[in-house]
Chains A and B, each alone.
Chain A
């Protein structure tokens, strides 16, 4: 089966610009998560979708971040406007149920200059 795919793999933007990251989970995985690793620190949870609904968005840093999962398939994470501290690697993960293994994508490396 195809794994979790993320696009783009790298993005370099200037402060104040907008970037949209995309995640395609494994087909049939209702649970989708976004995580972020900033400056080589620990990977932190951002939010959790169950199908198209936001189950938990307690990790979203501020209102410059907007996540959507229309139709309950792929998800997008938009950063608008981007700030320098948003630089890092954004990971997406999916799972069939909360007790099943997490499958991670390769991540999107975002650099804000």
Chain B
């Protein structure tokens, strides 16, 4: 079945550092790929998504490219801020919420 594996945390970075959170997936079809973010005390929010191979999702300075050849969807940001401290979840879905598969989450802490 479909599954997602993301790098384990926690990740601690200094402000303005470069961020990469790795995510790889296993899927039988051609799923859509997502990154969700959970800020402290809040629910999951969609950060970005990509629906087909070679698509790049981007939002708030974060980017991820749907790489079919490496089955990856790594999250990157060139310069993190303290306000980016949160838990990041990689996810995939064939179509709807009942086949959504999430990674274990990566906690990011950015220090000033």
Contact = CB atoms under 8 A, between A and B. Distances in A.
Same assembly: yes
Interface string A89-109: 001010100110110111100
Interface residues of B, number: 21
A102 B43 contact: no
Nearest to A41: B104
A45 B96 CA distance: 11
B98 A106 contact: no
Given A93-B97, A98-B97, A42 B104 contact: yes
Interface in B82-112: 89, 91, 95-105
B104 A40 contact: yes
B41 A43 contact: no
Given A101-B46, A104-B45, A106-B42, A42 B4 contact: yes
Contact of A106 (B36, B43, B46, B96): B43
A104 B105 contact: no
Interface string A51-79: 00001101100000000000000000000
Contacts of B102: 35, 42-44
Nearest to B90: A42
A82 interface: no
B98 A56 contact: yes
A110 to B, nearest CB: 15
Contacts of B97: 31, 33, 45, 48, 93, 95, 98, 102
